[in-house]
Amino acid sequence: MVEYSGRLEFLRRSLMEWFRRSGRKFPWRGEVGWYGILLAEFLLVRTRSEVAERAFHELLSRFPTPENLCSAGVVPVREIFERIGLPSRAERLVTTVCTILREYGGRIPCDYQELLKLPGVGDYIARVVLSRVCGKHVAFVDSNVLRILTRFLGARLSVTKAAELLERYIPKGELLYVNVALLDLGALVCKPRKALCYICPLTPRCSTSSGTGSSLSRSETLRLRVVLK
Ligand code: SF4
142 tagged catalytic? yes
User: Of 35, 53, 124, 169, which residue is the catalytic one?
Assistant: 124
Same fold, 2-23+139-228 and 27-132: no
More confident residue, 218 or 175: 175
Quick check: CB of 185 below 6 Å from ligand 1? no
Task: Give the list of residues 6+ apart from residue 138 with CB closer than 8 angstroms, or none.
Answer: 127, 130, 131, 163, 167, 175
Give the predicted TM-score (pTM) of the model: 0.89
DSSP code of residue 32: -
Look up 41 and say whether it is catalytic. Answer: yes
CATH node for 2-23+139-228: 1.10.1670.10
The angle at the Cα of 201, spanning 162 to 209, to the nearest 5 degrees, equals 70
Average pLDDT over residues 68-96: 95
Give the tens place of pLDDT for each residue, 8-65: 999 999 999 999 999 999 999 988 999 999 999 999 988 889 899 999 999 999 999 9
Angle formed by the axes of helices 175-188 and 5-22, nearest 10°:
70
Rounded to the nearest whole angstrom, what is the distance from the C-alpha of residue 84 to the centroid of ligand 1? 30
Residues 6+ apart with CB under 8 A from 168: 1
201 DSSP 8-state letter: T
pLDDT of residue 209: 83
Residue-range domain boundaries for the chain: 2-23+139-228, 27-132
* Residue pLDDT, tens place only, 107-146: 999 999 999 999 999 999 999 999 999 999 999 999 999 9
Cβ(144) to ligand 1 under 6 A? Answer: no
At residue 46, the pLDDT reads 81
pLDDT of residue 213: 38
- pLDDT computed for residue 157 by the predictor: 95
182 near 128, Cβ under 8 Å?
no
Give CA–CA dist 142/45, Å, rounded: 10
- Assess whether pLDDT exceeds 60 at residue 220: no
From 140-144, 157-161, 222-226, the region with the lowest mean pLDDT = 222-226
Q: Which atom of ligand 1 is nearest to the CA of 196?
A: 7
Cβ contacts of 169 within 8 Å, gap of 6 or more: 1, 4, 5, 8, 9, 12
As a dihedral over the C-alpha atoms of residue 106, residue 167, residue 15, residue 213, rounded to 10 degrees, the angle is -150
- Predicted local confidence at residue 228, as pLDDT: 43
Give the Cα separation of 88 and 172 in Å (integer): 36
- Mean pLDDT across 72-97: 95
pLDDT at 211: 40
For the domain bounded by 27-132, which CATH number is listed? 1.10.340.30
pLDDT tens, residue by residue, 197-216: 999 999 999 999 854 434 44
Catalytic, 164? Answer no
How many C-beta atoms surround the C-beta of residue 115 within 10 A? 22
Task: Give the pLDDT confidence score for residue 212 in this predicted structure.
Answer: 40
